[in-house]
Structure 1
């Protein structure tokens, strides 16, 4: 019983002593989280492109720089296969221009359409055709399309991109 009384009287005084003696952490400025966790730092793969992966390094008004090689005109990419593609403007993207996806196996998870400088609405008939091939579709401007393709391809996902040069406005 005496030990219990002693603990009851010394415990509060011990807690007060610890609170008084606890050192305050030194005040120092932390690095900016914006800079520490920049999305650019995480997806900048340009200098470390594996030989077996396509990576868009830049998008120009007339073409693309892919793995250090300049390509003029529109491109169709499936996984790590790069093809010249005939459409010169968004209205020329049709079921015929995307007919390769009817026979392509394995079917990519997603088709990213790069519509040039501005996002364009996709014709409902073209949407139905793309859906009938088992693809999901995303239509964005060509710079964002190339960047999205890079990220998904780097993750090892089967992805396709149909890209018009950035200078295309309609």
Structure 2
């Protein structure tokens, strides 16, 4: 009897080992092939619908006789503003005609703070003084040079003496370089910017027109101009 019990106890672990729980295999999941993503456009509306269609007719209807319509060609926002006395009425080949009936000839003009100064930026320190009639190259002649070796507009610092003395200084300086627009040399631009002024460089005709507009709108204390005649020729 004991022997049979011993044999049974020895056979129990074997039975337990043989009947141990096994994890059932996981079912295989078939993965679907994911198609590649198509590039998405920013606009979903077809491009043909985005194009504007031409008008079916250009007929604007009968002409209106209402008095409330605005004639933009006659619009003048500065109609009631008095033009400054130093505004440019005309640019001549050798000078300028101002609004105060003053005629300047044989030189340029420097307009600062409502005042007009005759201006010879082409004068050099080593030039021969005296009038042209006496054989010199004095202030009554438009002779000299304002271009450097690189073809840029460059004058000495002594030509801007009025701008150094005036206070308060204008916010904008309009430079007219003659019959055509010539770039300003970096040294001149740096010097004038150091005085606290912004620069606008144009040919003399456009520079005079811009000065008239801005001086009337903002005042002569905020805008200055340095112009040489439209008849100026380099090396005359």
Task: Specify if TM > 0.5.
Answer: yes
Q: Cα distance, 1:153 vs. partner?
A: 1.0
Q: Distance in 2 between matches of 1:38 and 1:117?
A: 29
Aligned length: 137
Deviates more, 1:96-105 or 1:57-66: 96-105
Q: Distance in 1 between matches of 2:165 and 2:214?
A: 22
Q: Cα distance, 1:44 vs. partner?
A: 8.8
Pair member with larger Rg: 2
Work out whether 1:132 is the aligned partner of 2:194: yes
For residues 115 and 53 of structure 1, do their structure 2 counterparts lie closer, same or farther at Cα, with a shift above 3 Å needed? same
Work out whether 1:163 is the aligned partner of 2:215: no
For residues 169 and 139 of structure 1, do their structure 2 counterparts lie closer, same or farther at Cα, with a shift above 3 Å needed? farther
For residues 167 and 135 of structure 1, do their structure 2 counterparts lie closer, same or farther at Cα, with a shift above 3 Å needed? same
Which residue of structure 1 lines up, in the alignment, with residue 72 of structure 2?
Answer: 37
Give the one of 115, 124, 136 matched to 2:177.
Answer: 115
For residues 141 and 97 of structure 1, do their structure 2 counterparts lie closer, same or farther at Cα, with a shift above 3 Å needed? same
SS in 2 for 1:154: helix
Q: Distance in 2 between matches of 1:163 and 1:81?
A: 14
SS in 1 for 2:63: coil
Contact conserved, 1:56 with 1:146, CA < 8 A, in 2?
yes
Which residue of structure 1 lines up, in the alignment, with residue 96 of structure 2?
Answer: 64
> Could you list the per-position Cα deviations for residues 18-49 of structure 1 after superposition, in whole angstroms to 9, with x for gaps in the alignment?
xxxxxxx961179xxxxx4349x73897xx85
CA RMSD in angstroms, aligned pairs only = 2.8
Contact conserved, 2:85 with 2:98, CA < 8 A, in 1?
no
**Structure 2, unaligned runs of 5 or more:** 1-59, 66-70, 123-144, 148-153
For residues 168 and 49 of structure 1, do their structure 2 counterparts lie closer, same or farther at Cα, with a shift above 3 Å needed? farther
TM-score computed with the length of structure 1 as normaliser = 0.69
For residues 55 and 44 of structure 1, do their structure 2 counterparts lie closer, same or farther at Cα, with a shift above 3 Å needed? farther
Work out whether 1:81 is the aligned partner of 2:115: yes
Which structure has greater helix proportion?
1
Higher relative contact order (CA 8 A, sep 6+): 1
Q: Distance in 1 between matches of 2:227 and 2:103?
A: 14
Which structure has greater strand proportion?
1
**Structure 1, unaligned runs of 5 or more:** 1-24, 31-35
Give the one of 78, 90, 111 matched to 2:146.
Answer: 90
